């Protein structure tokens, strides 16, 4: 896909833009162990934004996990799962 095709696809509706990113994420191949490890390091297993605000040991309030609001969340989790599967099956 060249730059002109990418620009044409990005000039569409927002949901179509997200589909382009989903397709690009799904097209990522995992050729070796170091790539799989890098993917697992870059994509966290749990939401890093979830927090409990504590004061003197008492929880004042909790910030819920917001990662599921990300429209690319499922695609990223599938990519991380594929990397973990690659490490488990190929690198043992």
Task: Read off the pLDDT of residues 18-37 as tens digits, 9 standing for 90 and up.
Answer: 888 899 999 999 999 999 99
From residue 76, give the alpha-carbon distance in Å to each of 15, 42, 51. 17, 10, 21
pTM exceeding the 0.75 threshold for the entire prediction: no
Burial of 76 (0-12, 13-18, 19+ CB in 10 A): middle
Which element (helix H / strand E) includes 33? helix 33-42
pLDDT tens track for 80-91: 999 999 999 886
Token couple for 55: 């004061």
User: What is the count of structural domains for the chain?
Assistant: 1
Q: Which domain holds residue 42?
A: 3-90
């Amino acid at each position: 896909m060249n730059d002109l095709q990418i620009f044409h696809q990005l000039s569409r509706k927002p949901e179509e833009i997200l589909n382009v990113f989903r397709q690009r994420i799904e097209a990522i191949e995992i050729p070796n162990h170091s790539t799989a490890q890098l993917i697992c390091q870059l994509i966290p297993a749990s939401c890093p934004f979830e927090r409990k605000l504590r004061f003197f040991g008492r929880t004042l309030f909790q910030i819920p996990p917001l990662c599921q609001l990300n429209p690319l969340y499922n695609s990223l989790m599938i990519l991380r799962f594929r990397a973990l599967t690659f490490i488990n099956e190929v690198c043992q």
